[in-house]
Chain A
Amino acid sequence: MENAIQPLIQVQSVVKQYTRDTQVLTVLDGLSLSIDAGDFVALMGPSGSGKTTLLNLIAGIDRPTSGRVLVGPDEVSAMSEGALAKWRSRNIGFIFQLYNLVPVLTAYENVELPLLLTNLSKAARRKQVELALSVVNLTDRTDHYPRQLSGGQEQRVAIARAIATDPKLLVADEPTGDLDARSGEEILILLERLNDEFKKTILIVTHDPKAAACAHRLVHLDKGVLKEDVRGAGKTVGIAAAATVSAGK
Chain B
Amino acid sequence: MRFLPLVLKNVFRKKTRSILTIGSILLPLFVICIMGTLLATLDSDPSGGKGMFRLTVRHSISITNWLPEAYLPKLRQMPGVKEVTIMNWFGGKYVDSSAKNFFARFAIDPESFLRVFDEATVVEGSAADWMGDRSGLLVGKVLMTKYGWRLGQQITLMGDIYPGNYTFTIRAVFKGADESGVYFDRRVHEEALPRVKGYVGMYWIKTDSVAAVERLPKQIDAMFENSPFPTKTETEKEFQNSWVSMLGNVKLLITSIATIIVLVILLIAANTMAMSARERVTEIAVLRTLGFGKPTILGLVLGESVLLSLFGGLLGLGLFVLSFPGFRAWMLNSPMGAFATGMRIFPGILALGFFITVLVGLLSGLVPAIRSAGRSIPDGLRQVG
Q: In the complex the two chains form, what is the Cα distance from A102 to B279 in whole Å?
A: 12
With A96-B286, A105-B6, A109-B5 in contact, do A117 and B13 touch (Cβ < 8 Å)? Answer: no
Indicate if A204 sits at the interface (CB-CB under 8 A).
no
The 4 closest A-B pairs by CB, nearest first: A89-B291, A85-B293, A61-B377, A104-B9
Taken residue by residue from 161 to 177, chain B's Cβ proximity to chain A (1 for < 8 Å, 0 otherwise) reads as 00000000000000000
A–B Cβ pairs within 8 angstroms, 25 of them: A53-B378, A59-B289, A62-B377, A62-B378, A82-B295, A85-B288, A87-B291, A88-B290, A89-B290, A89-B291, A89-B292, A94-B289, A100-B282, A100-B286, A102-B283, A102-B286, A104-B9, A104-B10, A104-B12, A104-B13, A109-B5, A113-B6, A116-B2, A117-B290, A117-B292
Indicate if A144 sits at the interface (CB-CB under 8 A).
no
Indicate if B3 sits at the interface (CB-CB under 8 A).
yes
Contact in complex: A113, B378 (CB < 8 Å): no
Indicate if A90 sits at the interface (CB-CB under 8 A).
yes
Indicate if A127 sits at the interface (CB-CB under 8 A).
no
Residues of B within 8 A of A228 (CB): none
8 A Cβ contacts from A83-106 to B: 85-90, 92, 94, 96, 100, 102-105
Contact in complex: A61, B289 (CB < 8 Å): yes
Interface of B is mostly: helix
Indicate if B210 sits at the interface (CB-CB under 8 A).
no
Indicate if A32 sits at the interface (CB-CB under 8 A).
no
Indicate if B123 sits at the interface (CB-CB under 8 A).
no
Indicate if B376 sits at the interface (CB-CB under 8 A).
yes
Chain A residues with CB under 8 Å of chain B are: 52-53, 56, 59, 61-62, 81-82, 85-90, 92, 94, 96, 100, 102-105, 109, 113-114, 116-117, 161
Chain B residues with CB under 8 Å of chain A are: 2-3, 5-6, 9-10, 12-13, 282-283, 286-296, 376-378, 381
- B294's partner among A85, A88, A109 (CB-CB below 8 A) is A85
Residues of A within 8 A of B12 (CB): 104
Report the minimum CB–CB distance from B186 to chain A (whole Å).
73
Contact in complex: A61, B288 (CB < 8 Å): yes
Contact in complex: A62, B376 (CB < 8 Å): yes
Contact in complex: B378, A88 (CB < 8 Å): no
Contact in complex: B289, A88 (CB < 8 Å): yes
With A100-B282, A100-B286, A104-B13 in contact, do A81 and B294 touch (Cβ < 8 Å)? Answer: yes
Report the minimum CB–CB distance from B298 to chain A (whole Å).
12
Residues of B within 8 A of A100 (CB): 282-283, 286
Q: In the complex the two chains form, what is the Cα distance from A116 to B296 in whole Å?
A: 11
Residues of B within 8 A of A87 (CB): 291
- A114's partner among B3, B13, B290 (CB-CB below 8 A) is B290
Contact in complex: A90, B291 (CB < 8 Å): yes
Q: In the complex the two chains form, what is the Cα distance from A113 to B297 in whole Å?
A: 13
